Amino acid sequence: MSDQQSVVGVEQDPLKELYADWSEILGTAENLTIRLFRSIFDEWHQPTAEPTDVTYAEGTVGGVPGIWCYPEGADSSKVLLYTHGGGFAVGSASSHRKLAGHFAKALGVTSFVLDYRRAPEHPHPAGLEDAVSVFEALVESGIAPEDVTTIGDSAGGNLAVAAALSLKEQGKPLPGAVIALSPWLDMENKGETLVTNDATDALITVGLLEGMIAGVLGDRTSPSAPLANPLYGDYTGFPRLYITAGGAESLLDNATRLNDLATDAGVDVTLSVVDGQQHVFPFNAGHTAAADDQIAAIAKWFAG
């Protein structure tokens, strides 16, 4: 089942402003080390308002460090396993804790944001292995598999999908649902919106993606390996799936192609494309109606 939506967003966009600033830095900086690259992307939290009535605690689950998000009155028997974006190389639990907190609060559950191992020091499948380890540890702790939802943005959206594919491939219990926010899935850079949306995307470029692909895949993983590139995955028996993306972003067709694959496999999938919005636009939570409305729509879907 597929339910495609389209919403018009025309308001001020703090995330787009941040991306434009990053793009200028990336386009002019010389000898940008991975440490400095990561420090830039740790600003990702800036467009996100601090969610009210949410507390945080550092923790370790399945040997993987991260940050717990605890909304007041949340159902502690249900967990969002949140994998952050950043091309598998940048971003962190800290850069994404506020966004994860908004989702946890809206959905009425807790969330654990992973600080999974990042490329290039730890190429594929390190991040995926960490996501699966956290899922299995949550289940071992007494959380029902169906009460765990894998959720992530960009490269983290890839991991949220790939974790379920990996568990399915191993014949293990699956999460109850998967939420992919502007997922980056295509390790071959074949998407047509890389060209058609190049002028409207404030951050993503082919060159940026090529560098991150080289870092995460190295020379030992094929760009068509299904657990690295979920566009080659088998979605038969896949969990309920929600996909969202911005209409202005260059990775838009990663979302639409995933929707088509899941739909063809009989998955209960919802696709929401929000016109005029940037990559991972829910980062504007608390500051734009487009972000807040999308989080509310996901909460309604989750409860349904």
Residue 70 sits in a domain whose CATH number is 3.40.50.1820
pLDDT reported for residue 244? 98
pLDDT reported for residue 6? 43
Query: Tokens 């919005």, residue?
Result: 277
pLDDT reported for residue 1? 47
What are the 10-residue block averages of pLDDT along the chain, 304 residues in total? 46 94 92 94 98 98 98 98 98 98 98 98 98 98 98 98 98 98 98 97 96 96 98 98 98 98 98 98 98 98 96
CA dist 214 and 55 (Å) reads 37
pLDDT reported for residue 111? 98
pLDDT reported for residue 8? 42
pLDDT reported for residue 184? 98
Q: How many CB atoms lie within 10 A of CB 14?
A: 17
Q: What domain count does the chain have? A: 1
E strand spans, the chain: 2-8, 54-61, 64-71, 75-83, 109-114, 148-153, 177-181, 240-246, 269-275
For the annotated catalytic residues, the residue numbers are 154, 249, 279
For residue 130, give both structure tokens: 């960490």
Rounded alpha-carbon distances, angstroms, from residue 296 to 130, 153, 286, 290 = 29, 17, 12, 10
CA dist 179 and 260 (Å) reads 16
The residue range of the domain holding 36 is: 2-303
pLDDT reported for residue 23? 95
Residue 152 main-chain phi, psi, to 5 deg: -170, 165
